[in-house]
Chain A
């Protein structure tokens, strides 16, 4: 029964998208709606996930990024966010740690490949 009470109020919040300049949670413009839908389908949800679920996830992601950023600002070099700080914060979570390492390694490889490609073009 508690769910039925909560859901209508949640829906009301989402109807007021973009209405008013207030920076409240429900009234902020949705940043990740499209991408989150694709992501939810990729991770196992239905092909058309519910809008309310997408909204909940977006709020969660924004809160997650905010928390990580605040934590990263408080360690290492104060007031700045650096990659080392993020890696340090993630060290206990094996999945995220491996993902960050893979992403950064691949980024380096791509940069090197692009640089080599450009130099080859420049030479010829």
Chain B
């Protein structure tokens, strides 16, 4: 059961990372700020606590900077925008550096089985040629390389969502991996009700 528990936590780490890099201006208001906890298996908490700390640090640094810029010839609104974007960039860079450090510490403390799984997670990808062929057979025209890259990336995230949900279902039903088709189908049914699975075959009637 180690594996089943470990990998969702890993994925949460990745998700938390991407969520934080994407939503750096909206700082997470975590209630439990115990500083940086020593244990490494509560990855989500580590990340949130680090983000809080970073937010406080950058706020301290930005105050003297704000007073400096009062002498510039910008209107107050423009000044505020400029300071805001600069703060966000600094915050983002600090969050990136901290994240990289924390990832390094985490990966260095993996067991061999976890390392294997992490390697597979990072390295597995859809073959670009097959994806390009598939897209071109649907559109009938050629597509650029960036489209293929984007589509393969999204598909991998999609597979991750389905597999994670299926592992949740499997655990909830008290069964062990490997995943069986019934877990996958239940996972798809759940994701469909959440709206994660695109389906344009069913025409929705809004008013009648």
Partner of B126, one of A32, A82, A98: A32
In the bound complex, residues from chain B placing their C-beta under 8 Å from that of A71 are: 198, 200
Determine if A80 is an interface residue (Cβ-Cβ < 8 Å): yes
Query: Do residues A44 and B163 form an inter-chain contact, with CB atoms below 8 A?
Result: yes
CB distance from B195 to the nearest CB of A (A): 9
Q: Are A82 and B162 in contact (CB under 8 A)?
A: no
| Closest chain B CB from A13 CB (angstroms) | 12
Interface segment among B52-60, B73-81, B87-95, B132-140: the answer is B132-140
Q: Does A75 sit at the interface, judged by CB under 8 A?
A: no
The B-contacting residues of A in range 78-112, CB under 8 angstroms, are 79-83, 86-87, 90, 93-104, 107
| Docked CA distance A64–B197 (Å) | 7
Query: What residues on B are CB-neighbors of A107 within 8 Å?
Result: 146, 149
Contacting pair A44 B139 (CB below 8 A): no
Query: In the complex, what residues of B have CB within 8 A of residue A35's CB?
Result: 124-127
Chain A residues contacting B127 (CB-CB under 8 Å) are 32, 35
Query: Are A98 and B21 in contact, CB atoms less than 8 angstroms apart?
Result: yes
**B-contacting residues of A (Cβ < 8 Å)?**
3, 6-7, 10, 31-32, 35-36, 38-46, 48-50, 52-53, 56-57, 60-62, 64-71, 73, 79-83, 86-87, 90, 93-104, 107
Query: What are the residues of chain A within 8 A of B124 when measuring CB–CB?
Result: 35, 38-39, 42
Complex CA gap A12/B138 in Å reads 27
- B181, A7: Cβ atoms closer than 8 Å: yes
Whether A95 contacts B146 in the complex (CB less than 8 A), given A32-B130, A45-B178, A64-B198, comes out as: no
Q: Please report the C-alpha to C-alpha distance between residue A82 and residue B147 in the assembled complex, in whole angstroms.
A: 6
- A107 to B158, alpha carbons, bound, how many Å? 20
Min CB gap A79→B, angstroms: 7
Which residue of the partner chain A has the closest CB to B130? A31
A95 touches B18 (CB 8 A): yes
Q: Is B121 an interface residue (CB 8 A)?
A: yes
Beyond A31-B134, A40-B159, 11 additional pairs, beta carbon < 8 A: A31-B130, A42-B117, A44-B117, A60-B162, A66-B134, A73-B139, A83-B144, A86-B147, A86-B154, A96-B153, A100-B154
| Contact call A53/B139, Cβ cutoff below 8 A | no
> Within 8 Å of chain A (Cβ to Cβ): is B141?
yes
CB distance from A82 to the nearest CB of B (A): 7
| Cα–Cα distance between A71 and B139 once the two chains are bound (Å) | 11
Query: Is there contact, CB below 8 Å, between A98 and B19?
Result: yes
Residue from the set B119, B123, B138, B199 with the largest chain A CB neighbour count within 10 Å: B138
Interface contact B178-A67, CB-CB below 8 Å: no
Smallest CB gap from B20: residue in A: A98
| Residues A98 and B121 in contact in the complex (CB < 8 Å), given A36-B159, A67-B199, A70-B138 | no
Do A80 and B141 have beta carbons less than 8 Å apart?
yes
Given contacts A71-B200, A80-B141, A82-B144, contact A53 B178 (CB under 8 A): yes
